[in-house]
Amino acid sequence: MRWPRRFLSKGEFVKHLFASRFLVALALLGLLFGPIRAAAADKETRVVYHVGDTAEQATRTLLFVNNHLSADPNVKIVVVAHSAGIDFLLKKAVDKNGVEYEPAIKELVKSGRVDFRICNVSLMSRHVPADGRIPEATVVDSGVREIARLQAQEGYAYIRP
């Protein structure tokens, strides 16, 4: 059988046939896996920030949390403070420039995407009265236990600024 000249050569025909089937296969894969990738992009990211020292970490933590919220619209953040890290969650606490922490913390909590948790062991060992902490900070039995629980049981990623 003779191949007509007005059509593609046998080699070109095979190349075009292979290319078109390959493109159809890619399109089908895109249809199948596109929704999975989109669903993963919409999935909530959960992160726990660990604060063990107010002087070294509090201001940096608040900056990182704000940056994180700006970068990831699906993030849920829990800030857990214990030991000397509880100081910024106490009433009238100020940074090295004399700026109170509480207004920034209130704004973060108001976003609905950030929670602050404070260690009761640290509160008790430092004799902080029940009304000595800011109301936005939820008391947990143990700060380190809370961090471990969030990681092990709820799948939170860990960050220590």
> Residue 75 pairs with which residues in a beta bridge?
45
Give the C-alpha separation, 54 to 154, whole Å. 26
| Distance, CA of 85 to CA of 146 (rounded, Å) | 14
CA distance 141 to 8: 77
The parts of the chain modelled with pLDDT lower than 70 are 1-41
pLDDT (0 to 100) of residue 88: 97
Domain extent listing, the chain? 8-43, 44-159
Question: Over the stretch 92-136, which tens digit does the pLDDT of each residue have?
Answer: 999 999 999 999 999 999 999 999 999 999 999 999 998 999 999
For residue 38, what pLDDT is reported? 47
| pLDDT attached to residue 29 | 59
The fold adopted by the segment(s) 44-159 is: Hypothetical Protein Ychn; Chain: A, (3.40.1260)
Q: Cα 113 vs. chain centroid, distance in angstroms?
A: 10
pLDDT at position 103 is 97
